[in-house]
Structure 1
Amino acid sequence: MENGFSGKVLISNSSIVTDYFNRTVILMVEHDQSGAFGLVLNKKMDVALSEVIQGIPEGIDGSSPIYSGGPVDPTFVSILHDNPKLKQPGIEVIPGVFLARSFEALVELLEHPDKTKFNVYQGYSGWGAAQLEGEMERKSWVVHDPNAEWIFTEDPETTWQEALKSKGGLYKYFVEHTKDPMLN
């Protein structure tokens, strides 16, 4: 399985996925035979960046929200951003969207928030070898092409519905005409 679902999004099937991942959209960063790694895009936490990240220089606004990237390792902090000109931009996950992990990249983004879009994530979503494949067989996830708007939206609460609508067909119909489209 070359790159599997890397660079795709997984949209949870709400009739099957009822735990932490209910109604989530996950950007898959890496997926191969040894496992998978991704970030939940639509779980904004009720906590400011400065409450989670220590050492933000004085004079820099640390009030930006932080997102829960997943239930694995809350000490793992990462940034999705759209600025390839950072000194350490990280890896390009999808065209025009980069994953960075350095404190320096975060400070650089915070120094110029008007020049770039970015979100900071605490934790991540991870799967062991063949675990995600098993979930796919159980129809836990809908695979779709990513959209940078879902990553940088002002309203992450609608990301799940928007992702399903953009999938089109029955997904769009059920989102627009039922309370829980995955139950039909």
Structure 2
Amino acid sequence: MQSLQNHFLIATPTMNEPLFKRSVTYICEHSDEGAMGLIVNQPANLNVTTLLDKLEIVYPASSESLKGPVFQGGPVGQERGFVIHPPQENWRSSLQLSDDIMVTTSRDILEALGSSAAPPKFILTLGYAGWEAGQLEQELAEDAWLAIPAAADILFNTPTSERWQKATEMLGFDVSQLAPGLGHA
């Protein structure tokens, strides 16, 4: 099995689950035991400052980076936060997944947001998407997802509303032209 860690899962037009419809999920872990990823294009009804207020974290009021949305990372563990950002040392709990992408789960990064110590760009998600052993492979076989190597440019420089389209363009064909069950006998 090829690991899909540091890949995007792009929901195909056949995906009907409301949370995953037209979603782009960044895969953080993938092994024989299962997979874990963060949806990066489904904003929650919450912005970063509101979340920081709820956590009683003080932040600079003038920071533009804090006005963005918090994302619905997935249906599992929605009380857990994940920050996707360019690699940066000094956080208590981080995992560097590529030369361009790191995921941090410790509170210290939240306390730094808006300051000069914060990552220059970030995506903050609540919750994650999880797959049991073999489940993601089955969904891929059923054409629910397409997988491509992740691109930091889509995460950090592409507007939320354009992430699915930009990710599908990386495939090199028009994903809307896929017929259900294509390639299965």
The one-letter code of the counterpart of 2:68 is S
Cα–Cα, structure 1 residues 129 and 63, in superposed 2: closer, same or farther, change >3 Å?
A: same
Of the three residues 162, 176, 179, the one matched with 1:158 is 162
Query: What does residue 57 of structure 2 align with?
Result: 56
- Asked if residue 120 in structure 1 is aligned to residue 121 in structure 2, the reply is no
Per-residue deviation, residues 113-158 of structure 1 (Å, max 9, x unmatched): 8861111101111111111111011011111011101111351111
The one-letter code of the counterpart of 2:57 is I
- Asked if residue 138 in structure 1 is aligned to residue 137 in structure 2, the reply is no
The one-letter code of the counterpart of 2:58 is P
Contact 2:60 2:115 in 1 (8 A): no
| TM-score (norm: length of structure 1) | 0.84
Contact 1:10 1:142 in 2 (8 A): yes
Q: Which runs of 5+ in 1 are unaligned?
A: none
- Where has structure 1 moved over 3 Å in runs of 4 or more? 58-64, 85-89, 180-184
**Mapped partners of 1:34, 1:24: distance in 2:** 23
**Mapped partners of 1:136, 1:99: distance in 2:** 24
Contact 2:59 2:113 in 1 (8 A): no
Aligned-pair identity (%): 24
Query: What does residue 74 of structure 2 align with?
Result: 70
**Mapped partners of 2:115, 2:92: distance in 1:** 15
Contact 1:86 1:108 in 2 (8 A): no
Q: Which runs of 5+ in 2 are unaligned?
A: 181-185
Cα–Cα, structure 1 residues 166 and 59, in superposed 2: closer, same or farther, change >3 Å?
A: closer
The alpha carbon displacement at 1:105 in A equals 1.4
- Asked if residue 167 in structure 1 is aligned to residue 171 in structure 2, the reply is yes
Contact 1:50 1:56 in 2 (8 A): no
Query: What does residue 45 of structure 1 align with?
Result: 44
Cα–Cα, structure 1 residues 167 and 113, in superposed 2: closer, same or farther, change >3 Å?
A: farther
- Asked if residue 106 in structure 1 is aligned to residue 106 in structure 2, the reply is no
Query: What does residue 28 of structure 2 align with?
Result: 29
Structure that is richer in helix per residue: 1
Aligned length: 174
Query: What does residue 17 of structure 1 align with?
Result: 15
Contact 2:94 2:104 in 1 (8 A): yes
| TM-score (norm: length of structure 2) | 0.83
